[in-house]
Amino acid sequence: MQDQITEEIDLGDRFAPSPEVQTEDRKVYDYALDGLRGIAALWVAYAHIFFFNFKIDPAYHPTLPIGYFFNAAHGGVLIFFALSGYVIGLTNRLPFSQTNAIRYVLRRFIRLYPIYVLAIILGTLSYPVDTWKTIVGSFFFLQVAVSGLIQGNGVLWTLNYEVVYYLVFLAVWYFRPKVIPLMFCSLVIACVFPFIPAIPSIISGYAAGWIFWLFGLWLAWKKPRSEEIRKFPLVAYMLIFIATDKLSIVKTLLEALELTKLNLAQINITDFVYLPLCLLLFSALTQRRIPCVRWLNAIAIALPLAHTTYLLVIGQQYALFGGFHLALGIALWGWRSSPDIFHKFTFFGSISYGVYVLHMPIMNFMSYVPFFSGSVFSFIVRVLIWAGLTIGISYLLELKLQPIIKNWFQQKVLNHV
């Protein structure tokens, strides 16, 4: 067993596509993983319906904690990071060259920027309080790091992280660093820098999210697909992931150690509790084998189980929400399914970027409509209208307009690089 693990984790291995992966069919579409992307986008949008400062119904907001039952928004962001690294690994297997690097940057630009610009404009108009510095800085992806954040579209902070990772990938692609040292250095920066007040928190934040992004890249570049479809406790994984999101495990530990004044960014060391489940989910959905699966399974269950028990012992009743999902996940552990179960969410995955960056401004605009407001019924109707508008606009942008822009860009720009 130990020899197998050592063989699968080669300390001298570099970040470069392995020969087995290099020969894979690049046109194979990960429907299951796109379904996971759709679920992550729905998690974020769902959370903002119940926890966002601007109410979709200005005269009514649910008093029951309905939002807790499906909310794993922050974990969804980490899934997006790992997905991003995985997609970059799938689509960039050629050796580094100036031409390939330029084409890579241009493809990323045309994928992100058109809809991103619309998201900035709508966010600014839906809540017009931002300074020109914030607005202009956002157009250059400088939110969080340099300029302020568009108040009417708070989710755009993650695009700053994404662009940083896209650019740093160029160095990984060119220098082909060893896997273990790069991961270890990123981990040290993420874990040590928060204890140094003089260092901006965004540095450790980038490093923490970078580990999830690098895992996606490593999976796409180093682990070939399995020839046989294997089944996993995927429903249990998702339920325990939701439980983990609710429990704030590492945050409670830091509070117990009286380390509440650490210099933490939006993504930070507390998010590593999601990593075992991310590893398991991505391995299962992509059918790529990773080492230490039994240990990861044990850790994924043990962390939230120990934390839930502790919180209930000290009388923290909010742990019941996470405990419910955890107990249900453990009970369903024996139910193993193939990745096909995620295919039902593939449509949402195909429009997930639009849903992610547009759902907040649409919610803001709806909060300004004063009539038909103030009841459970009006709230439900408004949610349905908001969902219809968000999905409909995202569909038009992602599946109708974006392909036109991409084809034009391919013919006018990429074909001439």
Break the chain into its structural domains and give their ranges.
2-416
pLDDT digits (tens, 9 = 90+) for 251-306: 767 766 666 678 888 899 889 999 999 999 999 999 999 989 999 999 999 989 98
In sequence order, what are the residues at sequence separation of 6 or more whose Cβ sits closer than 8 angstroms to the Cβ of residue 116? 156, 159, 357
Q: How far apart are CA 372 and CA 59, in angstroms?
A: 9
| Cα→Cα distances 1→7, 9, 349, 416, Å | 10, 13, 37, 52
Identify whether the C-beta of residue 330 lies closer than 8 Å to the C-beta of residue 226: no
Cα-Cα-Cα-Cα torsion 92, 217, 112, 137, nearest 10 degrees, comes to: -120
Q: What six digits make up the tokens of 267?
A: 């993504």
pLDDT digits (tens, 9 = 90+) for 73-102: 899 999 999 999 999 999 999 999 999 999
Residue, of 2 and 249, whose pLDDT is higher: 249
The type of residue at 100 is N
Q: How far apart are CA 113 and CA 202, in angstroms?
A: 23
Q: How far apart are CA 296 and CA 298, in angstroms?
A: 5
Helix (H, G, I), strand (E, B) or coil at 291: coil
Alpha helix ranges (H) inside 194-318: 201-222, 234-247, 249-256, 275-286, 293-313
Sign of CA dihedral 247, 184, 167, 172: negative
pLDDT of res. 12: 67
CA nearest to 268, candidates 284, 258, 253: 253
pLDDT of res. 147: 82
Sign of CA dihedral 374, 377, 383, 388: negative
Residue 1 has pLDDT above 50, yes or no: no
Residue found under tokens 């998702």: 238
Residue found under tokens 């890579």: 104
Residue 147 φ then ψ, to 5° = -95, 175
CA nearest to 91, candidates 210, 216, 208, 206: 216
Q: What six digits make up the tokens of 138?
A: 């956002």
Range in 136-145, 149-158, 259-268 the model is least confident about: 259-268
Question: What is the arithmetic mean of pLDDT over 234-250?
Answer: 87
CA nearest to 273, candidates 240, 296, 250, 301: 250
Question: What is the arithmetic mean of pLDDT over 342-362?
Answer: 95
Residues forming beta bridges with residue 288, ordered by sequence position:
225
The type of residue at 86 is Y
In sequence order, what are the residues at sequence separation of 6 or more whose Cβ sits closer than 8 angstroms to the Cβ of residue 17? 89, 93, 221, 222
Letter string b/e over residues 348-361, b meaning 16 or more CB atoms within 10 A of that residue's CB = bbbbbbbbbbbbbb
End-to-end CA gap in the chain: 49
Q: How far apart are CA 124 and CA 165, in angstroms?
A: 26
Helix (H, G, I), strand (E, B) or coil at 121: helix
Residue 374 has pLDDT above 50, yes or no: yes
Instruction: Give 42-79 as a DSSP string.
Output: HHHHHHHHHH-SS-SSTT----S-GGGGT--HHHHHHH
Residues forming beta bridges with residue 143, ordered by sequence position:
147
Range in 33-37, 40-44, 61-65, 405-409 the model is least confident about: 61-65
Helix (H, G, I), strand (E, B) or coil at 151: coil
Above pLDDT 90, what percent of the chain? Answer: 65
Residue 200 has pLDDT above 60, yes or no: yes
Identify whether the C-beta of residue 80 lies closer than 8 Å to the C-beta of residue 40: yes
Q: What six digits make up the tokens of 308?
A: 């839930």
Residues forming beta bridges with residue 178, ordered by sequence position:
14
